[in-house]
Amino acid sequence: MRGRRVDGFAHPTPPPPRGGVPKHPESRWFSRSYPLVRVLLWPLDGSSIPLGRGGGGRRKRGFPSVATYAAISAVGQALLALLEQSCPKPEFENAKFELYQANDFKAPMEEGVSLFLYRVVPSTTRRNLTGREDAQGRRTRRPLPVDLCFMLTPWAKTAAKQHRLLGWSMRTLEDTPTLTASFLNHYGRPETDTFLPDETVTFVQDTLSIQDLLNVWEVGKPNLQVSVTYIARMVLIESAISDPQGPPVQTRVLDLGKRTE
């Protein structure tokens, strides 16, 4: 008889439910009692399994595999989509919203907002996470939680308009600091299932020292611009590699009082 071990230690057997303990192996809670050990078996019909993220509901078997390596890209695209949708027009009618690399600072846009990912660090908020279960019911390796450090830069032909773009962008992110999974998946092209329904990403404004800010702007010298930095907290990068586990424990034999030569 196969099943998932829920409890492999000695505990007092709880009172049976109304109608007695189910005896059929396919029943939802099928238990066997042994001396010093009690084993509970989970149903194998795939009806439901615990969500492998440490609580928060159940997930059906056969849940589609997720392209979790795309999480970093999806976060940046979703943030720009939020700003583009909220852009006040006609004041910023010609504003563009783009992800930037280092080379883009040499020939920047005339008007709009750029988002530059200048640093990625492992998140220290929570590291002891469990891997999720894939469509075949295999447990994957632990996810990698990271913090994404972005530099948001407004661009305009005049300083006054640039400052207005900056003020509006900061107010928008302050009003909507958390992006839901549906929003992230919608704009995180081409994948549409990068984040699970209960996942979110929160942006927190970060304050850099003058020296750190100058180091970031090395890529844009001598065209330094006023900018603001944000951190996207706890972005999980899932693994596609399964973590093999041994077969479930069914019985435990204790040979007490025997001596060996």
* pLDDT range class, residue 253, cuts 50, 70, 90: confident
Residue 66 pLDDT > 70: no
Name the 3-class secondary structure at 104: helix
What is the pLDDT at residue 142? Answer: 83
* pLDDT range class, residue 85, cuts 50, 70, 90: very high
H-helix segments, 105-238: 159-175, 181-187, 210-216
* pLDDT range class, residue 165, cuts 50, 70, 90: very high
Dihedral sign for Cα atoms in the order 68, 73, 75, 81 = negative
What is the pLDDT at residue 111? Answer: 95
Q: Which of 163-167, 171-175, 184-188 has the lowest mean pLDDT?
A: 184-188
Residue 79 pLDDT > 90: yes
User: What is the H or E stretch that residue 121 is in?
Assistant: strand 112-122
Assigned token pair, 117:
């990912």
What is the pLDDT at residue 18? Answer: 55
What is the arithmetic mean of pLDDT over 192-201? 85
Report how far residue 105's alpha carbon sits from residue 99's, in angstroms, rounded to the nearest whole number.
11
Whether this model's pTM surpasses 0.75 = no
What is the pLDDT at residue 19? Answer: 53
What is the arithmetic mean of pLDDT over 150-168? 95
What is the arithmetic mean of pLDDT over 4-16? 45
SS3 content of the chain, % helix, strand, coil (to 5): 25, 25, 50
CATH number belonging to the domain at 68-237, selected among 3.90.380, 3.30.2000, 1.10.1740, 2.60.40: 3.30.2000
DSSP per residue over 142-177, as a string? Answer: PPEEEEEEEEEEEE-SSHHHHHHHHHHHHHHHHH--
Report how far residue 197's alpha carbon sits from residue 130's, in angstroms, rounded to the nearest whole number.
17
Residue 7 pLDDT > 60: no
Give the residue extent of every domain in the chain. 1-45, 68-237
Residue 138 pLDDT > 90: no
% of the chain with per-residue pLDDT over 90: 36
- What does the pLDDT look like over 215-224, one tens digit per residue? 888 877 777 8
- 166-186 per-residue burial string, b: 16 or more CB within 10 A, e: under 16: bebbeebbeeeeebebebbbe
